[in-house]
């Protein structure tokens, strides 16, 4: 990756950098609405089309499989050449797929539309992570605000789906395109800010800060990726089936399931901000490792503790799984300082995508036994993530220390 300077961004574009982080966070929310919408739509597909657990989880797989493969490819592409225009275009594609998914009369069409949405989401994340990294100057808290936007999109999606589809049925799904329209418009000022920053950087006569010349640490990146995969299986398994599980556990019906999804996603929002704050006090690897260890107990509580108390464990498990979220992105980028787009594509993509591959297996086991039995293997996932992070080094930041105004939007 070519050496890039940031002196002019520091001295002449401080307000735009704050504005860029804010707009990126909101745009991230508008995109990740569609990742959360897939799981939120599953109960409606089951109710209106009589899908089994396994069939319904195949929809999650369709959104996840192409996305998990495509995100590293888009990341490698943006490493070769920045493509900021991908932000508004991919936002629209992600929304369009979900908007059409409720209109597909056949299972094949539903899978196709959900897959299209997954490709749009895949195109968005690597480039947005690259831009957020530059705007935040590698600051952990600023990156956590960017990640928080995505988490809030996840959190809002069950309520949005319930509002639109719950009252009007799947035929109302085209209304779900509205966040994508808003997000694509919000991306446009970011593109102008990025362009001005690049022009100012090119004009800098005496740069004072550069990207690190350290070599890529592929071994550490591979171990981190394995930890991200296990985390992904745990979170995607919970997000796909928690609504069914809590409805059964509490006996309160579909409303209890929707509430569980909201708690799951809001807990993730809290965990993301907490992770950024903790990383300012302790090294990232330690924060991630301890978070995963505590999450083992929280996931066990979700699966094994019956009744309303399960909501507390849902919140704790979600927060524990999301404390590492933004930290894993910056760690990956620092392990691969010359392939920042690839690092962001793999970590952000795998975090929300590869777990979908395990969802059909969980659904099949639930059909054959019980849903609670099928969720028990999820308890082991954060433990495996903890093992993957044991002994990982804390890399030097690839970008110089952030200024204070980059720490929050």
pLDDT truncated to tens, each residue of the chain (409 aa)? 443 333 333 333 343 457 778 888 899 999 989 987 887 888 888 888 877 777 877 887 777 777 777 877 888 888 888 788 888 999 999 999 999 988 877 888 888 898 899 889 888 888 888 888 777 766 667 778 888 888 788 778 888 998 998 888 888 989 999 999 999 998 888 777 766 765 555 544 444 344 455 788 999 999 999 999 999 899 988 988 888 889 888 887 778 888 888 888 788 888 988 988 898 888 999 999 999 999 999 999 999 998 899 999 999 999 999 999 889 988 998 998 888 888 877 887 666 667 767 778 888 898 899 989 999 999 999 999 999 999 899 987 655 444 444 444 4
d(CA 126, CA 68): 12
Question: What Cα–Cα distance (Å) separates residue 26 from each residue in 107, 128, 137, 277, 397?
Answer: 32, 12, 19, 20, 26
- pTM, to two decimals: 0.72
Task: Please give the pLDDT value at position 319.
Answer: 94
- Whether residue 374 contacts residue 366, with contact meaning beta carbons closer than 8 Å, is answered with yes
Is residue 76 classed exposed, middle or buried when 0-12, 13-18 and 19+ CB atoms within 10 A define those classes?
middle
Sorted by sequence, the CB contacts under 8 Å of residue 154 that are 6+ apart come out as: 32, 33, 35, 36, 239, 265, 268, 269
Task: Please give the pLDDT value at position 179.
Answer: 94
Whether residue 364 is contained in a domain is answered as yes
User: SS3 of 296, please?
Assistant: helix
Whether residue 204 is contained in a domain is answered as yes
Q: How many domains does the chain have?
A: 1
CATH code of residue 169: 1.20.1250.20
Per the structure, the complete domain to which residue 358 belongs is given by: 7-394
Whether residue 375 is contained in a domain is answered as yes
Whether residue 409 is contained in a domain is answered as no
* Cβ-based neighbour number of residue 304 at 10 Å: 13
3-state percent helix, strand, coil for the chain, nearest multiple of 5: 80, 0, 20
Whether residue 379 is contained in a domain is answered as yes
Task: Please give the pLDDT value at position 212.
Answer: 53
- Whether residue 232 contacts residue 354, with contact meaning beta carbons closer than 8 Å, is answered with yes
Task: Please give the pLDDT value at position 398.
Answer: 53
Whether residue 163 is contained in a domain is answered as yes
d(CA 263, CA 74): 32
Whether residue 90 is contained in a domain is answered as yes
Task: Please give the pLDDT value at position 1.
Answer: 40
Whether residue 401 is contained in a domain is answered as no
């Amino acid at each position: 990756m070519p050496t890039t300077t940031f002196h002019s961004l520091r001295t002449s574009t401080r307000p735009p950098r704050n504005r860029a982080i804010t707009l990126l966070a909101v745009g991230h929310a508008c995109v990740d609405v569609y990742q959360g919408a897939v799981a939120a739509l599953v109960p409606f597909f089951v109710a209106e089309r009589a899908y089994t657990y396994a069939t319904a989880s195949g929809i999650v797989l369709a959104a996840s499989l192409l996305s998990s493969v495509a995100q590293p490819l888009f990341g490698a592409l943006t490493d070769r050449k920045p493509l900021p225009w991908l932000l508004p275009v991919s936002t629209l594609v992600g929304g369009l797929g979900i908007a059409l998914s409720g209109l597909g009369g056949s299972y094949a069409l539903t899978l196709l539309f959900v897959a299209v949405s997954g490709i749009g989401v895949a195109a968005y994340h690597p480039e947005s992570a690259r831009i957020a990294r530059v705007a935040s100057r590698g600051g952990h808290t600023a990156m956590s605000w960017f990640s928080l936007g995505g988490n809030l999109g996840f959190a809002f999606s069950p309520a949005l789906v319930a509002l639109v589809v719950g009252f009007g049925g799947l035929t109302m799904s085209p209304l779900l395109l509205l966040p994508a329209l808003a997000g694509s418009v919000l991306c446009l000022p970011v593109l102008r800010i990025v362009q001005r920053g690049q022009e100012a950087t090119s004009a800098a006569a005496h740069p004072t800060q550069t990207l690190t010349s350290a070599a890529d640490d592929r071994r550490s990146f591979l171990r981190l990726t394995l930890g991200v995969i296990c985390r992904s299986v745990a979170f995607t398994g919970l997000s796909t089936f928690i609504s069914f599980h809590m409805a059964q556990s509490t006996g309160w019906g579909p409303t209890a399931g929707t509430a569980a999804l909201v708690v799951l996603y809001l807990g993730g929002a809290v965990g993301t901000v907490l992770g950024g704050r903790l990383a300012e006090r302790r090294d990232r690897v330690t924060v991630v490792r301890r978070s995963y260890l505590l999450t083992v107990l929280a996931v066990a509580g979700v699966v094994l503790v019956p009744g309303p108390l399960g909501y507390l464990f849902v919140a704790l498990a979600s927060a524990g799984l999301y404390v590492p979220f933004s930290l894993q992105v910056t760690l990956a980028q620092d392990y691969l300082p010359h392939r920042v787009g690839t690092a962001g594509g793999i970590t952000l993509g795998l975090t929300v995508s590869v777990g979908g591959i395990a969802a059909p297996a969980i659904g099949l086991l639930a059909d054959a036994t019980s849903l609670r039995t099928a969720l028990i293997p999820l308890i082991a996932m954060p433990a495996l993530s903890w093992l993957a992070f044991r002994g990982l080094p804390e890399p030097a930041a690839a970008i110089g220390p952030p200024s204070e105004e980059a720490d929050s939007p």
